[in-house]
Amino acid sequence: MEGTEWLEEVTEDTTIEKLKESCLKHNAHGSLEDPKAVTQHKLIHAASERVLTDTRTIAEENLKDKDVLLLVKKRPPLPPPKMSDISAEEKKKQENKAPDKEAILKATAGLSVRETDRTVAQHNIRDFQTELRKILVSLIEVAQKLLAMNPDAVELFKKANAMLDEDEEDRVDETALQQLTEMGFPESRAIKALRLNHMSVTQAMEWLIEHVDDPTRVPSLPSTEDSKPDELTEIFKRIRRKREFRPDSRAVIALMEMGFDEKEVIDALRVNNNQQDAACDWLLGDRKPSPEDLDKGIDTNSPLFQAILENPVVQLGLTNPKTLLAFEDMLENPLNSTQWMNDPETGPVMLQISRIFQTLNRT
């Protein structure tokens, strides 16, 4: 509320402590008269929320030109609790403490035994979102086989593919595009590179350099009648490429600033539905489930999958190309599930899958 803003120019070998001293001159005149003033403040890197170490240099802290830093006064340490407060707190804890096994047995010793076998069945209540992914992987395989048998399959999927092309026109990360155009790449090719590389600036730049001599054109699909199976396969691949996971660019930058490389950051965001905090926990933890686990389907002989396939609404939905597109999209972008749940064509299918899962899960 009472802070000021200014530009500080320093060399790369300047220590954080020296930078802090310089900052204190702007922030509070006369603060340096108190020798403790420097130690009572800290500098924080605003983008990564990192507290900078006094003994390290600008270069060692990897600070860049125009980085924003915050000068913050440290909170004073809490005073040590008084002995009377400690005893009162311990007493309160004891009063609120749950009884242990010995206390329970003592309190219930006089009760008559009604059931000798006290073994409690452990029910594995599965998480719907986790299982839904496996269900979708297996349903996509079934839908592709069913749709491939349709004599109009190629035309249906060409139309679906064209719809996706129109949809793609609005999906460009403006910040990423600006970075590439500022490097000198033409806007049209930068857009193409970003779409092919899931809005990753690094991968798009590599693609642009590798394909600098390529003509600017969109590859066409084969159109001969004899190549129907191959053509369908190619269309399926193109649809999947367009529906591939798009990592949140801000989350990617934030996590890479912590020292993780881009590939593992994208894997973490994919596993955790683009949730930055969850992705960070995954990167720092045992990294389970792995990205490979996401592509495993459900056991096709399980009662759950059989019940889903036997449902008439699901059976009808699997013959609709739009359902396959919805499954592909939800597989890579789970946050889009709400959109497909509200769609008049795909919503009933998703509702039946959810109901069947909840019914079998309860039983």
What pLDDT tens digit does each residue of the chain (363 aa) get? 566 788 888 899 999 988 888 888 776 554 555 656 778 888 999 888 889 998 899 999 989 888 999 988 888 777 776 666 666 767 677 666 677 778 888 888 888 776 555 444 333 444 666 678 888 888 888 887 887 777 776 676 666 656 555 545 555 777 888 888 888 888 888 888 887 776 777 778 888 887 776 655 443 434 434 444 455 555 555 555 545 667 788 888 899 988 888 889 988 888 887 788 888 998 988 888 788 777 788 888 889 899 999 999 999 988 887 888 888 778 767 767 787 888 888 899 999 998 998 888 776
8 A C-beta contact, residue 299 and residue 286: no
DSSP lists the bridge partners of residue 51 as: 44
For 45, the token pair is: 């890197």
Residue matched to tokens 């010793």: 109
Return phi, psi of residue 76, to 5°: -65, 145
CA 192 vs. chain centroid, Å, equals 23
8 A C-beta contact, residue 83 and residue 91: no
Give the H or E element holding residue 73: strand 69-73
Distance from C-alpha of 193 to C-alpha of 202, rounded to nearest angstrom: 10
> Measuring CA to CA, which residue among 141, 186, 154 is closest to residue 300?
141
Distance from C-alpha of 307 to C-alpha of 293, rounded to nearest angstrom: 23
Distance from C-alpha of 276 to C-alpha of 252, rounded to nearest angstrom: 8
Stated pTM of the model: 0.42
> Measuring CA to CA, which residue among 183, 311, 201 is closest to residue 249?
201
**CA angle at residue 100 from 98 to 105, to 5 degrees?**
120
Residue matched to tokens 């060692």: 60
Distance from C-alpha of 70 to C-alpha of 57, rounded to nearest angstrom: 17
> Measuring CA to CA, which residue among 140, 130, 132, 141 is closest to residue 354?
132
8 A C-beta contact, residue 252 and residue 200: yes
- pLDDT of amino acid 121: 38
- pLDDT of amino acid 227: 46
- pLDDT of amino acid 349: 92
CB neighbour list of residue 230: distance below 8 Å, 6 or more residues apart: 222
Give the H or E element holding residue 202: helix 201-210
